[in-house]
Structure 1
Amino acid sequence: MKLIHLLLALSLLVTLWACGSKASPDEKQATASIEETVVPVKLSPVSTVVRAEPVVASGLVSSAQEARLSFKIGGIVNRMFVDEGQSVRKGQLLATLDLTEINAQVSQAQFASEKAERDLGRVKSLYADTAATLEQLQNATTGTSLAKQNLTIAKFNQNYAQIRSTVDGTVTRKIANAGEFIAPGGPVYTISSNRPNDWVVRVGVSDKDWARLRIGNRASIKLDAYPDKTFSGTVSELAQAADPVNKLYEVEVRINPGGVKFAPGLFAKVTLVPAQSRSYTLVPIEAIVEGNGKEGFVYLLAEDKKHVRKIPIQIGFLDGDKVLLTNTLEGVEDVVTGGSAYLTEESTVVVK
């Protein structure tokens, strides 16, 4: 009986020893978890380039020689000779006012001038016979001069009771019609030049971008009307004051149409290339994590080569598969690219 109990005790000890020698499931999972936190990563070199950061803005195509034509004086529109979309030549008659009232004013001024001349002649004769005073002679002379000036004004208004085109171009807007009353200076026609070298895009830029631009800087233009073409251009004008409404500075870019048909109002996206350049840090796009607009982060290998640290960066612009950073990464030779999406600052890494 004692032998049986002894054998049972030995069997129990062997079983307990065997169970103790095997790892529990929790211990296996903990060991596996430790192994899984080691993230393989790939490093890519950091370089520096000197570039001119482009300025991107949008605007509408228009003619540099655009004219808003009106009558110098008010009156009833008599005739309109052209309609919207018609081509016109410089000096071509476009519209006239009813001249009934205007011609009457010229006649009145003419009669007043003739009467003043006669009065002056009589006063001169009387003054020669000492029958008129010097003051009367001076008043008659002044009256004659005033009458002549009034006649000049009436004839000038008579000449400008019509509208003639100031450029070779196209009528883009016809604002009035025959029979309407037009106030002095009221717009009647808008004419745009259709010469190939007169097309421009006017865009608004910030003060920071305006300061980097110069007359003659190159530009590339994309039009929604021609999505497969890129047009070249140059900066032709820079505003010297900001727009009081949007606080932006207007930049005029002259476009080379290259034989393509243009029309006022085409939407354009303009990329301006300033002559002023600056230094940028160049990193692969895969290195950027948590990107938000112009901000983001990159991971660097820590000094112990087993961990990483995350630093903030400022994104300038994209160049293919590279990102140009506006803040320099001084002393940094490599950034983490492969595996960066799975990292935290607590991760243990191994360089592939």
Structure 2
Amino acid sequence: MNMHRPIDETTMAVPFDDAVSPRRRWLRPLLIVVAILVVAGIAWALLGRGKKPDAAPAAAVLPTVTVVIPGQRAVADQITATGSIAARHDSVVGVNGEGGLVTAVLVDAGQTVRKGQVLARIDSSVQAQQVASMTAGVRSAKADAALAQSNLDRAAKLVDKGFISKADIDLKTATRDGMNAKVRVAEAQAGEMQARMARLDVRAPAAGLVLMRNVETGQIVGSGSNNLFRIAEDGILEMRALVAEQDMGRLKVGLPATVRPVGSSTDYHGRIWLLDPVIDAGSRQGVARIALAYAPGLRVGAFANASVAAGAATRPVLPQSAVMVDDTGSFVYVIGADGVVVKRPVKVGSVTIEGMSITSGLNGTERVVESAGAFLQPGEKVKPVVASDTGAN
């Protein structure tokens, strides 16, 4: 029978192969994935080993900046100040009398005058008539007094003859004395009117330089017109220099000073004649008054700079390239111990070919940026290199 036919070996192998093939199909992809992971791990280990963050190289490269250590040097102690030009003694000239119509102005600004010189004349026609009238009254009173004296003298000669009584003599004596008194009254009144008329002339109270003229011919002036002229007595001007409180103690009366008005290239020399005893509580400044002889380039009210030679001092000296200026004043860049740039306000003293002396803000031991400060910013970290020559440019 067919059921006893032998089984073919190839036919029997098919069911066995179908049973194991799914396992083989999963094993091969798994091995591929494992191989890829191993290769990726090896590559990461080889390429990433020792690699630093990107910021590290940038932080390690610092800009190099040349610095100077100024130390302390003996320099001329120059105290600088600003202020305005004024008259040392400013006299305001006005009307001394009743006033009236100005008939003539005899001087102008810039002229020198002597004490008592007439600066302007005021119409005195009315006062002149009054003076003439009073002068005539004086002559009349004197005539009456002379007549009274003559009557008394004649009466005195008749007393001994009995024609005139003693009472009449007394009466004539009193009349004579009254007339003499009237003469003195008339003379006083005439003198008063003459003085009033003389006061109509506007006169210089002192010799000096006319600074201002505020009157013209034809103008009506009165007793309240007190600013017709301004005169600098003796022609002496002054600069009222505003000096910092800490510098006032180093100044003395008599020290020489140099004054230069703003916009001028001319220096004017003078000396301190007065140091005001009061320090302004708000600005912490005092006033040093520098006497100046008048010169055409000195104008009252003009702003000026002053430099006073106050002896010698020991101070840090920097090259001019190290000092910068902004809206707040002068400053320098100082490199701290950690290499960080710090902005330091300073006050500049005298300026010479050796450099700029620093009166405050530095003690001389700091590392100050010599130049190129405009390219730095406060808080920036740099590599400071001390210059071989720390002298000023």
TM norm structure 1: 0.64
Q: 2:316 aligns with which of 281, 284, 290?
A: 281
| 2:289 aligned partner, one-letter code | V
Alpha-carbon displacement from aligned partner over 1:127-158 (angstroms, at most 9, x marks no partner): x9672699999998877655544433332333
CA distance in 2, matches of 1:84, 1:338: 55
1:162 is aligned to: 201
Asked if structure 1 preserves the Cα contact closer than 8 Å seen for 2:341 and 2:382, the reply is no
| Structure with the greater alpha carbon radius of gyration | 2
CA distance in 2, matches of 1:171, 1:284: 44
1:200 is aligned to: 237
Asked if structure 2 preserves the Cα contact closer than 8 Å seen for 1:51 and 1:277, the reply is yes
Alpha-carbon displacement from aligned partner over 1:308-349 (angstroms, at most 9, x marks no partner): 36778551226376461414527x26445468725638x474
1:175 is aligned to: 215
CA distance in 1, matches of 2:236, 2:127: 39
2:347 is aligned to: 316
**1:190 lines up with 2:214 in the alignment:** no
Alpha-carbon displacement from aligned partner over 1:130-187 (angstroms, at most 9, x marks no partner): 7269999999887765554443333233334334677686785241432x43224735
| 2:253 aligned partner, one-letter code | R
How far did 1:271 drift? Answer: 1.6
Gap regions ≥5 residues in structure 2: 1-23, 157-165, 387-393
**1:235 lines up with 2:275 in the alignment:** no
Alpha-carbon displacement from aligned partner over 1:13-71 (angstroms, at most 9, x marks no partner): 465334312238973514313423x44343312222444343332435x6779765544
| 2:103 aligned partner, one-letter code | R
CA distance in 2, matches of 1:87, 1:287: 49
Check 1:33–1:161 CA distance in 2 against 1; reply closer, same or farther (3 A cut).
closer
1:102 is aligned to: 127
1:299 is aligned to: 334
How far did 1:99 drift? Answer: 2.6
Indicate the larger mover: 201-210 or 269-278. Answer: 201-210
| 1:281 aligned partner, one-letter code | P
How far did 1:114 drift? Answer: 5.2
Asked if structure 2 preserves the Cα contact closer than 8 Å seen for 1:243 and 1:250, the reply is no
Asked if structure 2 preserves the Cα contact closer than 8 Å seen for 1:315 and 1:325, the reply is yes
Asked if structure 2 preserves the Cα contact closer than 8 Å seen for 1:77 and 1:181, the reply is yes
1:271 is aligned to: 306
SS of 2:379 mapped into structure 1: coil
CA distance in 1, matches of 2:312, 2:56: 54
| 2:266 aligned partner, one-letter code | T
Gap regions ≥5 residues in structure 1: none
1:40 is aligned to: 64
Indicate the larger mover: 94-103 or 66-75. Answer: 66-75
1:254 is aligned to: 292
Check 1:95–1:22 CA distance in 2 against 1; reply closer, same or farther (3 A cut).
same
| 1:200 aligned partner, one-letter code | L
Q: 1:17 aligns with which of 42, 47, 65?
A: 42
Alpha-carbon displacement from aligned partner over 1:213-250 (angstroms, at most 9, x marks no partner): 534521131343xx4x2222213643757799x99747
Asked if structure 1 preserves the Cα contact closer than 8 Å seen for 2:121 and 2:200, the reply is yes
2:363 is aligned to: 329
| 1:214 aligned partner, one-letter code | V
**1:74 lines up with 2:74 in the alignment:** no
Asked if structure 1 preserves the Cα contact closer than 8 Å seen for 2:105 and 2:216, the reply is no
Percent identity between matched residues is 10
| 1:205 aligned partner, one-letter code | L
CA distance in 2, matches of 1:80, 1:317: 54
Counting strand residues as a fraction of each chain, which structure ranks higher? Answer: 1
2:6 is aligned to: none
Count of aligned residue pairs for this structure pair: 333
Asked if structure 2 preserves the Cα contact closer than 8 Å seen for 1:287 and 1:336, the reply is yes
CA distance in 2, matches of 1:308, 1:223: 41
Check 1:323–1:252 CA distance in 2 against 1; reply closer, same or farther (3 A cut).
closer
CA distance in 1, matches of 2:369, 2:45: 43
